[in-house]
Structure 1
Amino acid sequence: MTPVQEEANRLLGGVARHILLRGGSRSGKTFVLIRALVVRALRVPHSRHGVFRHRQIALRASVIQDTFPKVMRCCFAHVRYKWDGQSNRVLFANGSSILFGGLDDSTRTEKILGLEFATIYLNEASQISYGARNMLLTRLAQRCALRTREYIDANPPTTDHWLYALFEAGVEPRSGLPHGEPGLYASMMMNPDQNRINLSDAYLHQLDALPERERRRFLFGEYQSAVEGALWRMDMFRRRAAVSEETRAAIIAEMRRIVVAVDPSGASGPQDLGADEIGIVVAAIDHVGMAHVLEDCSVRDTPMGWAQRVIQSAALWQADKIVAERNFGGALVEATLRSIDPAASLRMVTASRGKSARAEPVAALYEQGRVAHHGRFAELESQLCLFSMRGYGGAASPDRADALIWALSELMLEPQAVKGRWQDQGWFSLSR
């Protein structure tokens, strides 16, 4: 098994009851989950387990005839089992069984309703409805020595899918309310690049050549925006190479102005998972008027922690200015930043207009091809794609996107004064 598959295996053996392995195509998700089912079946005699997919024909081609035999050859070469084609079950010598069922036939579904399982596995769950998933959850009821488990794999669908709501936003998909036991839900990303040992270079190049939206889903394993009339689309992000330590100085020299923008939140520290992150984005404008997004430094930290992160980023990038939103915390935001660097070149901004009103002119810059991203900023870009004329469509605050909007507004949309110099008081040296 690859290192990421071993990590997934540890997650499957943890305390979470509902586990989603999400990611790009052929990243080893199904292999890991089928192996886990077999381990559970062999560990406890007479335990029952089910593998389900939207269509039986797809389940047969991909899992019954391909992945399951491969798992048995590679991991359980000496284990004997019997295939019952009439019931689509694998039977082991200890009396345990694994049922393989499609959900596209009412007769087959009725038979499933008469069974109880210790494990249910939803294969390619992006194709399975929330109602069908909940029906299967009622069958997760076999009393045996195993803890009941729901395993799921998927190439991440759009952000309006029930998978995103349950596992990423932490809410019940229909009501939108937080689900009662967040500690029982866990998700992990597995991508093809982490499974190179089992894939050809030609296949990876094929994924890399897909259009941007499909590439983000099947190569990078990212959820896609489903907001109607979104201000940003995946194909609007122009890309340049990510900045490295070796190229940073040259990139800085190409820029006319560099800013660090911060959108504070009420987080009390890294463990305050109920609070939004603090959006921190570094952006610049070059000598021909092109904007560049250089780094996403967003964190969830204490006020002193994120303020130090902002000042450090300003020093690293030789920033001309820090732009900070005052709406959350008011004067405390400025006071916290100045407690670290009293001489910081700081501009405090106030969000007097709605999010979409502030986002629209920045989105227009992307539409005009006037913004380049140096590398991929998955979480930031996902937030941007949830903006529409009606506002922000995400479950949480767009902390990263807000910081970017402040940064690009400062660089591209505000009248500019004469550039000055900024030096800190001993913490860092800022010479721009």
Structure 2
Amino acid sequence: MLGGRGAGKTRAGSEWVRGIALGDPDFAERPVGRIALIGETFSDARTVMVEGPAGILGVHARHERPTWSPSLRKLEWPNGAVAQVFSAEDPDSLRGPQFEAAWADELAKWKHGEATWDMLQFGLRLGAHPRQMVTTTPRPIPLIKRFLADPSVAVSRVRTADNAENLAPAFLETVLGRYGGTRLGRQELDGEIIEDRPDALWTRDGIELSRVEAALPLMRIVVAVDPPASSSKRADACGIVAAGVDEGGTAYVLEDATASGLKPPEWAAKAVALYRRLQADALVVEINQGGEMATGVIREVDPSVPVVSVRATRGKYLRAEPVSVLYAQGRVRHVGALPELEDELCDFGPGGLSTGRSPDRMDALVWALTELMLRTRPEPRMRVL
């Protein structure tokens, strides 16, 4: 099921799980005994698929509701059916268990999509008719493209507007007015798969070729920060991207921790926490927005963190172009999937993003890779992630 935000995908998945677990004749000939539930992270699976307003617990009547054991990551129905919860961040957790059915939510955002999907297929080996349901806002990743080309896959599509009676009118008015007809709106609201923008600096195929499961030992790591101009609700996001470079001069984009709606001390704390977790060498901070305020607020969080201040003297496209060339030369790798960042890269052309928004994730990436690959850098330290 490919659908827009708020289109009812989660409710559909929850009702499907309820139907097969209870043996509802509209869903299954008999109750399905063992079910896998896979979310982008365990937190997503718990808060959206199980406990959320449209989650599995919410679609059951009280007398038929399963018992939820968060510590065991397990749902158990009165009739003996059992559903186990998994995170797509840990594909190997699907080695060993076996199932009759599975519900995979937001697959297009899974960091280890191919590996997790493969492990799930090996586990779907019980019963006469193993089955699985995928609910996701689409992105043009190879896995979803294969589904659409496979005649054995039943495809449903649903738009955000199709579920209007269950959504706040102000929400619909706002998002349709701002994003309706744009590339982002067609993907996030209409559930369409949007291919590459012809004049974009990056391509989906190029990024797929750059993807790896893990980085080699890294000589230097930086966390780049592209601060918003203000902390209002309508402010741009704070771009936060971590990257490193190995001994052979290949860069690895490690994480996109970009966040919206945070006040300066909050995004500074988030950037410093990522710096500490990765044992990075420096924070690279653009100071065009707010001048020295950006570096000052970081030093208030942790005065020991080395901060490299950078100032934009050229437009975003001119800054990004040399970095896109590094990708074309095969000198940059993405560790796992970074869907929101990759969407920005493949939608950034001479006129910016098609939505007119600021490319905050891309800006942070450009600063990180510029610092690592296009500047004279200090003597590195070897480390293994």
TMscore range, shorter length: 0.5 to 0.7
Change in Cα spacing, 1:170 to 1:5, as seen in structure 2 (3 Å) is farther
Indicate yes or no: 2:350 matched with 1:343.
Answer: no
**CA distance in structure 2 between the aligned counterparts of 1:306 and 1:339, rounded to whole angstroms:** 12
- Of 271, 285, 289, which residue of structure 2 is paired with 1:328? 289
**Aligned match of 2:227:** 264
Change in Cα spacing, 1:420 to 1:376, as seen in structure 2 (3 Å) is closer
**Aligned match of 1:205:** none
- Of 125, 134, 137, which residue of structure 2 is paired with 1:27? 134
1:166 shift after superposition: 8.0
C-alpha contact (below 8 Å) 1:166/1:173 kept by paired residues: no
**CA distance in structure 2 between the aligned counterparts of 1:322 and 1:287, rounded to whole angstroms:** 20
**Aligned match of 2:359:** 398
SS of 2:194's equivalent in the other structure is coil
**CA distance in structure 1 between the aligned counterparts of 2:338 and 2:279, rounded to whole angstroms:** 21
Q: Which has the larger radius of gyration?
A: 1
Mapping of residues 156-305 of structure 1, within 5 Å: 171=178, 173=180, 223-237=193-207, 238-241=210-213, 254-266=217-229, 268=231, 273-300=233-260, 301-305=262-266
**CA distance in structure 1 between the aligned counterparts of 2:250 and 2:365, rounded to whole angstroms:** 15
- Of 340, 345, 349, which residue of structure 2 is paired with 1:388? 349
Mapping of residues 43-122 of structure 1, within 5 Å: none
C-alpha contact (below 8 Å) 1:232/1:384 kept by paired residues: yes
1:22 shift after superposition: 8.7
Aligned partner letter, 2:213: A
1:277 shift after superposition: 1.5
The runs of at least 4 consecutive aligned structure 1 residues that moved more than 6 Å come to 3-6, 21-25, 165-169
**CA distance in structure 2 between the aligned counterparts of 1:302 and 1:318, rounded to whole angstroms:** 24
SS of 1:171's equivalent in the other structure is helix
**CA distance in structure 1 between the aligned counterparts of 2:365 and 2:176, rounded to whole angstroms:** 22
CA RMSD of aligned residues (A): 4.2
C-alpha contact (below 8 Å) 1:225/1:382 kept by paired residues: no
- Of 355, 358, 362, which residue of structure 1 is paired with 2:319? 358
Change in Cα spacing, 1:5 to 1:288, as seen in structure 2 (3 Å) is closer
Aligned partner letter, 1:265: P
SS of 1:369's equivalent in the other structure is coil
C-alpha contact (below 8 Å) 1:22/1:188 kept by paired residues: no
In the alignment, structure 1 segments of 5+ residues that lack a partner are 14-20, 30-61, 68-122, 127-132, 138-146, 152-164, 180-186, 190-220, 243-250, 422-429
1:228 shift after superposition: 2.4
Change in Cα spacing, 1:279 to 1:172, as seen in structure 2 (3 Å) is closer
Aligned partner letter, 1:227: R
**Aligned match of 1:204:** none
Aligned partner letter, 1:240: V
Change in Cα spacing, 1:23 to 1:340, as seen in structure 2 (3 Å) is closer
C-alpha contact (below 8 Å) 1:267/1:277 kept by paired residues: no
C-alpha contact (below 8 Å) 2:341/2:362 kept by paired residues: yes
**Aligned match of 2:165:** 149
The number of equivalent residue pairs is 241
C-alpha contact (below 8 Å) 1:280/1:299 kept by paired residues: yes
**CA distance in structure 2 between the aligned counterparts of 1:167 and 1:331, rounded to whole angstroms:** 35
**CA distance in structure 2 between the aligned counterparts of 1:258 and 1:170, rounded to whole angstroms:** 41
Deviation digits for residues 343-399 of structure 1 (CA, Å, limit 9, x no counterpart): 321111111111110111111111111111111010000001111234333332111
Superposition TM-score, scaled by structure 2 size = 0.53
Change in Cα spacing, 1:368 to 1:338, as seen in structure 2 (3 Å) is same
Aligned partner letter, 1:284: G
Moved more, 165-174 or 221-230: 165-174
Aligned partner letter, 1:260: V
Indicate yes or no: 2:377 matched with 1:407.
Answer: no
Change in Cα spacing, 1:26 to 1:304, as seen in structure 2 (3 Å) is same
C-alpha contact (below 8 Å) 1:293/1:373 kept by paired residues: yes
1:23 shift after superposition: 7.5
User: Identity, % of aligned pairs?
Assistant: 36
In the alignment, structure 2 segments of 5+ residues that lack a partner are 1-14, 18-36, 38-47, 59-104, 109-131, 137-151
C-alpha contact (below 8 Å) 1:259/1:314 kept by paired residues: yes
